[in-house]
Amino acid sequence: MTPCIVIIDDETITLKQLRRILEKEGYQVSTFSNPRRALEHIEKESCHVVISDIRMPSMSGMTLMTLVKARCPGTEVILITGYASLDGAIEATREGAFYYLEKPFTPDQVRERVRQALEQSLIKEHSTSSIPRWPRNAGGPVIIGESVKIREIVSTIRQIGPTECNVLITGDSGSGKELAARAIHGTSLRRKGPFVAFNCSALTEPLMDNELFGHEKGAFTGADNRSKGFLETADTGTLFLDEIGEMPPSMQAKLLRVLQEGELIRVGGNRPVPIDVRIVSATAVNMKEAVNQGVFRKDLYFRINVVNIKLPGLSELKQDIPLLSYHILNRLNGRRGTQVNAISEKAMALLCDYAFPGNVRELENILERAAALCKHETIRVCDLPPDLIELELQTYKIPDEHLLTLSELEQDYIAHLLKITGGVRTRTAEILGIDRASLWRKMKKYSLS
C-alpha cells in the first residue's frame, strides 16, 4: 500500500515544492490550498501524514490539526511555518503535532520528518487494526509481534494447537507463558472445554495434592463434601501447570500416572476417576538440568515435553516493542478509561533501548504508570519512570578476546626474538629469514630499539 500524504498551504509554490520532493519518494501526494477541501478529502480517503501551514486565511493549522486528529487519530500532522518561535513549537507539539518544521526547509529535512511521521502512523495503524492476527473466532488470545521469532511461535502454536500432544513452554518470568498456553487451548479442538491454570510453586505438598486431585468426603477433618480437583475441573479441556519444575517428587509420580492411565484417585478415595485432559506446562528453570540432577522425573519430563516452545525475553524482541506498547495502551484505554493514544518518539526510543528484565509484565507496568500520570494524549519522556530516563541498563557479556593484527603480531614476535637473542640483530634476522636491512626497517617502523 502506498503511503498517502496530504499537503495544505495557501502558497502554491510551497505546495509544488513539497509535492515534487515527496512524489520522488514514491508517496501518493494530494495538495490543497483550501483547508476545508483537505478535510473533506481526509474524511473520504484517509491518509497517513498531513503537512499543513500554520497561518492560513480561512483556518489555522492548529485548528485543522485538531479536526484531523478527531477524524483520524492515527494520522500524524507536521506543521510548517515561516514565523517559527519556541512557544509556537511547544504549543504545536503539546496539541499533538508530530513535528514543527520551519521555513525555509531543505528537501532532506522534509523527507526525514515525513519518514518518521509515517513510521509512527503505521505503528498506530498496526496497533488498532492489523494486530488481531490471531483467529478470534477460534477463541485464542492475541499474540502481538511482527518479528521472526514471534511469527515462528505463532506458526508452531497454530500447528500443534489442534493436535493432542502435551506441550512444555519455557521462558523467563513475564515472557507470556500463560498467554501462549491459552493460545494453544484456543486453537485446539478442546477450545469449548475449560482452560484451568494451576501454579505448582504456590502451595505446600498436601495442599497441592488436594487442589490437583480433589478429595472424597471424610478424607480429612473438615472434608464434609466430595470435592473436584483442578485436574477434574479441566476435564475435556486443558490444564496449564505453571512452574512445573517446582513440583514435589510425590506429585510428579501422581501426575505421571494421570498422564499414563488417563485416570486419577482423589485424596481419601480408592476408586479411579477417568479424565480426559491435555497438559500444557511451563517453567523458567532448565528442565534438562533438573532431570540430570534428579530433581525432576525423567519419564514425566518426556511425557510433558512432547513439543517444546521457547519464548524469547522482551530484550530479544526489540522490534516488537512499539507494536506491543500500542496494544497495551489500547487495552488500558478500554479498561481504565484513559485517553492516551500515542507515545512520543523519544519516549519510544527509551523504551526500545531498555533491557526489560521483567519482560512484558514490566512493560505493562511502565505503560500503566505512564498512562496514569500522562496529562495529554501522548506519553512523553517525563511520564516514564525516572530510572529509565536517568539510568542505562546493559546486559554484561564477556568481552571478545583481543585479536591481534598481522603487524601487531609481527611487532610482538620481533620484540620477542630480540629479547631472546640479547639484541643481536644478525641472529634475529637469521631466525626471521630476512636480511639485516629488512630487520632494521621493521625495527624502525615499530620503534624497536
Range 238-257, binding other proteins (CB under 8 A): 243
CB of 352 to other proteins, least distance (A): 15
| By CB under 8 A, residue 433 contacts other proteins | no
| By CB under 8 A, residue 365 contacts other proteins | yes
Nine-digit cell at 3? 503511503
- Residue nearer to other proteins on the CB measure, 58 or 286: 286
Residue 63, amino acid:
T
| By CB under 8 A, residue 398 contacts other proteins | yes
Cα–Cα dist 77/99, whole Å: 7
Residue window 400-429: x/- pattern of binding to other proteins, with contact defined by CB under 8 A: xxx---------------------------
Of 235, 263, 357, 410, the one binding other proteins (CB under 8 A) is 357
Q: How many residues does the chain have?
A: 449
CB of 364 to other proteins, least distance (A): 9
Chain centroid to Cα 410, Å, comes to 48
Q: Are 280 and 244 in contact (CB under 8 A)?
A: no
Which range of residues in 115-123, 153-161, 332-340, 360-368 is near other proteins by CB under 8 A? 360-368
With 0-12 / 13-18 / 19 or more C-beta atoms within 10 angstroms meaning exposed / middle / buried, residue 247 is buried
Tell me the HSE value of 331 on the side-chain side, using a 13 A CA sphere.
15
CB of 298 to other proteins, least distance (A): 20
Residue window 160-179: x/- pattern of binding to other proteins, with contact defined by CB under 8 A: ------------xxx-----
| By CB under 8 A, residue 358 contacts other proteins | yes
- Longest CA pairwise span in the chain (Å): 103
Cα–Cα dist 446/241, whole Å: 66
| By CB under 8 A, residue 362 contacts other proteins | yes
CB of 361 to other proteins, least distance (A): 6
Please tell me whether the peptide bond between 249 and the residue prior to it is cis, using omega within 30 degrees of 0: no
CB of 387 to other proteins, least distance (A): 4
CB of 246 to other proteins, least distance (A): 8
Q: Are 205 and 250 in contact (CB under 8 A)?
A: yes
CB of 176 to other proteins, least distance (A): 14
Please tell me whether the peptide bond between 386 and the residue prior to it is cis, using omega within 30 degrees of 0: no
- Residue nearer to other proteins on the CB measure, 148 or 393: 393
Which range of residues in 51-59, 105-113, 163-171, 351-359 is near other proteins by CB under 8 A? 351-359
| By CB under 8 A, residue 312 contacts other proteins | no
| By CB under 8 A, residue 392 contacts other proteins | yes
Q: Give the three-class secondary structure for 169.
A: strand
Of 77, 167, 196, 366, the one binding other proteins (CB under 8 A) is 366
Q: 164-184 b/e with 16+ CB inside 10 Å = b?
A: eebbbbbbbebbbbbbbbbbb
CB of 283 to other proteins, least distance (A): 10
Residue window 269-288: x/- pattern of binding to other proteins, with contact defined by CB under 8 A: ---------------xxx--
Which range of residues in 122-130, 144-152, 211-219, 356-364 is near other proteins by CB under 8 A? 356-364
| By CB under 8 A, residue 390 contacts other proteins | yes
* Strand blocks (E) in 171-295: 195-199, 238-242, 263-264, 273-274, 278-283
| By CB under 8 A, residue 396 contacts other proteins | yes
Which range of residues in 132-140, 151-159, 231-239, 379-387 is near other proteins by CB under 8 A? 379-387
| By CB under 8 A, residue 387 contacts other proteins | yes
Cα–Cα dist 211/446, whole Å: 76
Cα–Cα dist 390/4, whole Å: 38
Range 199-228, binding other proteins (CB under 8 A): 201
Tell me the HSE value of 45 on the side-chain side, using a 13 A CA sphere.
18
Nine-digit cell at 61? 493549522
Q: Are 168 and 206 in contact (CB under 8 A)?
A: no
Cα–Cα dist 315/318, whole Å: 6
Q: Which residues bind other proteins (CB under 8 A)?
A: 172-174, 201, 243, 284-286, 355, 357-358, 361-362, 365-366, 385-387, 389-402
